[in-house]
A and B are shown apart, each in its own frame.
Chain A
């Protein structure tokens, strides 16, 4: 175990100091934070600035008032774009050109309320009751699920690539000969996967934190669905499982070649599988209740991305989640057994690419 931890520690220490790691970390955090700011930037902040001369109406959430001493000053503000419109004496509106339709409705309603209140009548607002499923958060949940698909895919592919590149680096430079006389193959491979996995987890945590912090800063957090904690935990758990699966595969295929240039070719089966998983997960984000999403969220390795996406997009019964996790663990153990056969035999056979058949015999 000690050997594994030493190897893991080295991976973390060397990778965390590289510029590329820090840059990709910063970029992914900024991207996610920017996505959280996006609705606000595109839709404005949803409130209107209204200049007021004379008596001010009762405050409403969509309007922010600013006082002006006289009509001339208010006109100037409207023309200068400081305010969207101005309310003069409580019964007249000045706009620059045509009045915004929504603003007009709001002002009309405010004006009406004022008059009703002045007449001493109280109006109770309408109560709204939904008879269908709670669809209030559907848009947001789909958004989060789509984002999660991209983040998970990005993390899976780049963490697994680092594992494969590390394996080839050690094989190509023959340092593996010295390493394997001081640690066992499973310690070397396990340490590499654990170390780079920790970095992937750090990256995921930073991305999630950046997203949540940005939503809190923009007030978008109020729109987040309940059970966000569950979505985050599910993303982390599925990252660990999916990463374990893909990283072990990447290391196994990586051990067949001695040069980085050959890596892409030899990793094709794994990247194809990853792309398929990505595509199905993307569909699941859009149609989380469809049959395809339900079935593939149980089947490894698709479940590693489809299940967290489904969890984010809609409610999933706990039983299904547990079945999916159990099946995924079985799959991870399966690739570990495959890896232990291949890696140990292939990694010391430097030179030409080793065929899978040769080491599996």
Chain B
């Protein structure tokens, strides 16, 4: 279990992190979202030891994180970095060796990743000859080659086409299924919603919302009732609390209060009820609200 506890970081008189903390369990996929400059990258760099925190602590299974723990982590920094003139396979293998793999193990792991990420044909090309999307795949391979115990990925999906996103998502899910805690940041909230078990929203250096995705949606939905009725006469909902909007031949009613059973009865009397339920906000809506 990876625990991030009360991280604080100041640059001069600017506060970058103001007590950031969350926990990622083994096998959990944690989506880290927030506006640009909110503190995601700073947090991840502190977790990786690239940056020192002013106060706070990062623990793995209850112990403060040390160099050897981090050496077993897989890290993809926000600013991509590869040796441009080095060949793809050679580069992945080199990073495997640096992380402590034996030569044969590094070669096997490299071959498996090249296969998995669709880079087999490019294995002997220099990185600079690759498209940006493919460079990103190599970057991911570099982060994964040593079978990391924890994955910290800063914006791994940015700049990828939908197919590459799916391939990458599959790889991450597999790693999580093997019990690896995965943290990734992203601006693609639909993706985070689809992939992650839990999310943390950071704004101006503070965690403003954090928890399992389903729980967050329920909590942030605040029990708004959503009713869709077809072929209803205009004015049918005049006596009910809430707002009504017309979409084609359907009326969509959103109620924040009132007796839901009474609403249902009125709706059934007015026309064909196509949908009736508590509305759950999307992550995007939760994000807008939390950050506002």
Tell me which residues across on chain B come within 8 A of A6, comparing CB atoms. Answer: 94, 97-98
Judged by DSSP, the binding face of B is loop
Name A10's closest neighbour in chain B (CB-CB).
Answer: B94
Q: Is A272 an interface residue (CB 8 A)?
A: no
CA separation between A100 and B99, bound complex, in Å?
75
A-B Cβ contacts below 8 A, count = 55
Q: Is A183 an interface residue (CB 8 A)?
A: yes
Known: A14-B86, A181-B50. A174 touches B77 (CB 8 A): yes
CA separation between A7 and B143, bound complex, in Å?
18
Q: Is A82 an interface residue (CB 8 A)?
A: no
Tell me which residues across on chain B come within 8 A of A348, comparing CB atoms. Answer: 50-51
**A350 to B79, Cβ gap below 8 A?**
yes
**A173 to B50, Cβ gap below 8 A?**
no
CA separation between A174 and B143, bound complex, in Å?
14
**A179 to B98, Cβ gap below 8 A?**
yes
CA separation between A175 and B85, bound complex, in Å?
13
**B97 to A181, Cβ gap below 8 A?**
no
**A174 to B81, Cβ gap below 8 A?**
yes
Q: Of residues 152 to 182 in A, which have CB atoms within 8 Å of B's CB atoms? A: 169-170, 173-182
Minimum Cβ distance to chain B for residue A206 (Å): 24
Tell me which residues across on chain B come within 8 A of A7, comparing CB atoms. Answer: 98
Q: Is B35 an interface residue (CB 8 A)?
A: no
Q: Is B73 an interface residue (CB 8 A)?
A: yes
CA separation between A174 and B79, bound complex, in Å?
6
CA separation between A182 and B49, bound complex, in Å?
11
**B99 to A182, Cβ gap below 8 A?**
yes
Name A187's closest neighbour in chain B (CB-CB).
Answer: B98
Interface string of B47-68 (1 = CB under 8 A from A): 0111100000000000000010
Of B79, B83, B98, B143, which one neighbours A183 at CB under 8 angstroms? B98
Of A3, A169, A173, which one neighbours B98 at CB under 8 angstroms? A3
Q: Of residues 246 to 272 in B, which have CB atoms within 8 Å of A's CB atoms? A: none
CA separation between A281 and B61, bound complex, in Å?
60
Tell me which residues across on chain B come within 8 A of A170, comparing CB atoms. Answer: 81
Of A10, A175, A182, A183, which one neighbours B81 at CB under 8 angstroms? A175
**A174 to B80, Cβ gap below 8 A?**
yes
**B98 to A177, Cβ gap below 8 A?**
no
Q: Is A184 an interface residue (CB 8 A)?
A: yes
CA separation between A179 and B83, bound complex, in Å?
11
Name A14's closest neighbour in chain B (CB-CB).
Answer: B86
Name A182's closest neighbour in chain B (CB-CB).
Answer: B98
Q: Is B75 an interface residue (CB 8 A)?
A: yes
Q: Of residues 18 to 76 in B, which have CB atoms within 8 Å of A's CB atoms? A: 45, 48-51, 67, 70-71, 73, 75
**B49 to A181, Cβ gap below 8 A?**
yes
CA separation between A179 and B97, bound complex, in Å?
11
**A180 to B50, Cβ gap below 8 A?**
yes
Minimum Cβ distance to chain B for residue A37 (Å): 37
**B82 to A177, Cβ gap below 8 A?**
no
CA separation between A169 and B79, bound complex, in Å?
14
Name A348's closest neighbour in chain B (CB-CB).
Answer: B50
Tell me which residues across on chain A come within 8 A of B276, comparing CB atoms. Answer: none
Of A14, A175, A182, A350, which one neighbours B71 at CB under 8 angstroms? A182
Tell me which residues across on chain A come within 8 A of B97, comparing CB atoms. Answer: 6
Interface string of A82-115 (1 = CB under 8 A from B): 0000000000000000000000000000000000
Give 6 pairs: A residue, B residue, CB < 8 Å, sorted on A: A6-B94, A170-B81, A178-B75, A181-B48, A182-B71, A182-B100
Residues of B at under 8 Å CB distance from A?
A: 45, 48-51, 67, 70-71, 73, 75, 77, 79-86, 94-95, 97-100, 142-143
Besides A6-B98, A14-B85, 20 other A-B contacts (C-beta < 8 A): A3-B98, A6-B94, A7-B98, A14-B86, A169-B83, A170-B81, A173-B83, A175-B81, A175-B82, A177-B48, A177-B79, A177-B81, A178-B81, A180-B50, A181-B71, A181-B75, A182-B98, A182-B100, A184-B67, A350-B79
